[in-house]
Amino acid sequence: MIKPFFEVENKIVNRDILEVPFCCDLDKCKGACCTIESDYGAPLLPEEIALMEKSLPQALQYLPEEHRADIQANGFYEEKEGELVTRSINNRACVLVYFENGVAKCALEKAYFEKKVKFRKPISCHLFPIRISNVFGEVLRYEQFSECTHALKKGKEVNITVAEFCKDSLERKYNKRWYSKLIKLIQK
């Protein structure tokens, strides 16, 4: 019998993260993960709010005027059903999104890569397409979106899984030792 979940240092990991091929193809998806239609923006951790507030002044310069005006009027996050999430424009584009050559990208991350801020972006965004639920502890699962079909094809072409694609974000969230233990499961 194939186990659908594995445990890595008290974190439950769905087998799909270890097996599904995945590698973002921004040329094809155009950053769809930042513009998926939804009543909810990206999930935020309470401790990320202050880090984002500190980084926001440097990131604002990259945002379209509509997004800057919305942030000024309403802020960059909201609480929905007890969860902190980024705000979105028209229930679509994250309020922190700018467009470069038609591709949706994160203004916080641009400021980070230009060494203007120390905070990269919310961990939920960095981990995408991995989502974490808290059900008697953390449960990591691969969340499939139709907008990511190109990422599945590219993952097959370059032969990497969701776990391998998300190496940086998983190491950021847990640590290198944890990630190494996860990868050993793929090699079994």
Q: For residue 2, what pLDDT band results from cuts at 50, 70 and 90?
A: low
Give the dihedral sign, CA 181/183/186/188. negative
pLDDT at 40 over 90: no
Residues whose CB is less than 8 angstroms from the CB of residue 124 and which lie 6 or more positions away in sequence, other chains included: 42, 43, 44, 45, 131, 132
pTM of the model: 0.92
Which tokens belong to 29? 């998806």
Q: Say what the pLDDT of residue 14 is.
A: 95
Domain boundaries, the chain: 1-22+129-188, 30-119
Q: What digits encode the pLDDT tens for the residues 128-148?
A: 999 999 878 899 999 999 999
Q: What digits encode the pLDDT tens for the residues 111-124?
A: 999 999 999 999 99
Q: What digits encode the pLDDT tens for the residues 7-27?
A: 999 999 999 999 999 999 999
